[in-house]
């Protein structure tokens, strides 16, 4: 009987220690970094909130500026984005160690694209819908590195940065 109790206790402790999500329900984490893009380097800052078990919701501000050569004329463009996202975190399902965080989700945002007068290209402001898949590795209990890939938004290539638990 002692072996059974010990085995159950060990299994529960292992489950709690090694398969918990790296974020906490009701807690917030700050994300900051740079993205990958064919048009300039986007920068972002955002917050994620542990809204439910294995689910975060968040908001993000992004900025990207770049210079474009259009038939030997140079045009400076600026894009500002405001977006919201929702992610499901897979740590519990896949029993991923707590230092790691694997997630996927959807996002929606508005992107304000400004181009100079006289530019005849096809850039415009508007709504962006996208999906993302990403992961984090926590170097300490509060600070981690993040890498995310996605499409349909300002970071169509992806982004890399820091996550700080608050």
Structural domain boundaries in the chain: 2-165
Q: Return the pLDDT at 122.
A: 67
Write the CB contacts of 84 (distance below 8 Å, at least 6 apart in sequence): 57, 58, 59, 60, 107, 108, 109
Contact 45, 89 (CB under 8 A): no
**CATH architecture assignment, domain 2-165:** Beta Barrel (2.40)
Measured CA to CA, the distance from residue 122 to residue 119 in angstroms comes to 9
Residue 103 CB burial class (10 angstroms; 0-12, 13-18, ≥19): buried
Q: Return the pLDDT at 34.
A: 95
Instruction: Look at residue 17 and give its three-state secondary structure.
Output: helix
> What pTM, to 2 d.p., does this model score?
0.78
Q: Which residues of the chain have pLDDT under 70?
A: 1-23, 121-123, 152-156
Q: Return the pLDDT at 113.
A: 85
């Amino acid at each position: 009987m002692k072996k059974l109790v010990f085995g159950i206790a060990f299994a529960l402790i292992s489950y709690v220690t090694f398969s918990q999500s790296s974020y906490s329900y009701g807690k917030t984490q700050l994300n900051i970094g740079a993205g990958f893009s064919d048009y300039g380097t986007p920068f972002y800052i955002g917050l994620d909130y542990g809204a439910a078990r294995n689910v975060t919701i968040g908001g993000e501000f992004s900025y990207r500026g770049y210079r474009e050569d259009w038939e030997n004329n140079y045009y400076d463009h600026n894009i500002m984005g405001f977006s919201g996202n929702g992610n499901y975190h897979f740590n519990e399902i896949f029993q991923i160690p707590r230092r790691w965080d694997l997630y996927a989700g959807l996002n929606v945002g508005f992107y304000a694209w400004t181009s100079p007068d006289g530019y005849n290209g096809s850039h415009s402001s508007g709504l962006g819908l996208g999906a993302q898949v990403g992961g984090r590795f926590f170097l300490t209990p509060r600070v981690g590195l993040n890498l995310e890939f996605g499409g349909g938004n300002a970071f169509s290539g992806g982004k890399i940065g820091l996550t700080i638990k608050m």
